[in-house]
Amino acid sequence: MNAFEVNFDGLVGPTHHYGGLAAGNLASQKNKQCVSHPRQAALEGLAKMKLLFDLGLKQAVLPPHPRPHLEFLRSSGLTGTDAELITQAAKTRPDLLSMAYSSAAMWTANAATVSPSMDTADGRVHLTPANLISTKHRSLEAEDTTKILRSIFRDTHSFVVYDPLPRHRLLADEGAANHTRLCKSYGKPGIELFVYGRDEEDHNAPAPHRYAARQTLQACERIASLHELPPARRLFIQQNPEAIDAGVFHNDVIAVGNENVLLCHELAFVEQRASLQKIRAAMDCEQIIEVRSSELSLAEAVSTYLFNSQLVTLPEGGGEGVTSSVVKQMLLLCPSECETHPRARAVIDRILAEPNPINQVRFIDVRQSMKNGGGPACLRLRVVLTELELSRLHGNVLLTEELYRQLCDWVTRQYREELSLADLGDPLLMEEVQTALTELEGILHLG
């Protein structure tokens, strides 16, 4: 079956700022109250999309969410007109104002969990938007994410978009940041690896001490059931609590997989040796590249975001329809921080020198996102689609040269160069954002 992996990247929103809202995200905490650069952030994200598009990969965009979230401010007890809400929040509850203006939806690895049609019993693509209840500001995203996904994936013959899981501690779900699909090739059935941080029904299970584990086993099991995945195509592995306490709030900060390759740190999973053996058995002994702590510590993995690189198969080496004599060619798209960090760079060089499909590396500047704790892989939601499914997407969301030009022009005209926490109290910012997002609706045609 001819199939492609499509990266749906989040457009960085015009309210991108450093509110330090995510406990356990060390970069977010470190850069709290720094001045952000929304225009630069959005252009960095678009440059990453364009790089992959130019390499022949399928690339799409997801729009920013409407901001500020006025309903949230009103539900928090603030009253008045829209402008009065903003002014009042700035004076009395700046923390709530920062949440209402959060642009964290740009990290679309948290948008949903996706199972492609070749894995599911009914032969449709299944998407479950994440409820993100572990952090207040991100829990505001679920409703708008669902609307956006149902607009793009509206053809019910090919797609099903579920409601987010109920907002209950038992079912805390962080989306694809804790989900990896491994397969021989995109068009063949695969193994879906669900990584959870805690088991709400087993209080004796390993647990972190410093930071909360965000994803539950019960949420993973519920999604696997919703997506009609056969038992042989689902695998549940627990994240190492030591890694969570080191700042690995999602599994995609410590592991990344693509087709038949899994790249991970040796402290990624509980009982790592046994966990990797389960994965090898499920994948018929495919390639696992393990990075030792002696090569790169957990602290260094978090500071460089090496494992939050995007691992992609280049079309000329790994697409469907190639002969078996053609070796897969995979690219590791790393944040620029990995290029200048000697030990991270040494790990990359070691990987490139070894006999495995990863034989190219590119470094990309997404520093504005990195300062808030999101690397290249955080900025994209991976969706495997057949040619027919690709043709059934709604809206002008697949990147083209023209769409890229339009979006860069839109960002340059509509985004502020700088944004501080104090600027969030300016009612004019709300008007600017609403004007910008109205224009974007006309560009993406998602109505």
137 in catalytic set: no
Cα 328 to the center of its chain, rounded Å: 24
250 in catalytic set: yes
Name the nearest CA neighbour of 177 among 117, 123, 134, 229.
134
DSSP state of 355: S
Residue in 65, 192, 378, 389 annotated catalytic: 378
What are the CA-CA distances from residue 121 to residues 116, 124, 130, 231, 386 (Å)? 10, 8, 22, 11, 16
Query: What SS3 string covers 37-91?
Result: CHHHHHHHHHHHHHHHHHCCCEEEEECCCCCCCHHHHHHCCCCCCHHHHHHHHHH
Q: Scanning the structure block, which residue is given the tokens 């602290």?
A: 299
Residue in 250, 259, 334, 341 annotated catalytic: 250
State the chain's maximal CA–CA distance in angstroms.
68
Residue 378 contacts residue 308 (beta carbons within 8 Å): yes
Residue 195 contacts residue 178 (beta carbons within 8 Å): yes
Residue in 44, 141, 174, 259 annotated catalytic: 174
378 in catalytic set: yes
**Counts for the chain of helices (H) and strands (E), in that order:** 18, 15
What are the CA-CA distances from residue 430 to residues 74, 101, 161, 189 (Å)? 16, 9, 30, 46
- Give me the active site residues, please: 174, 250, 378
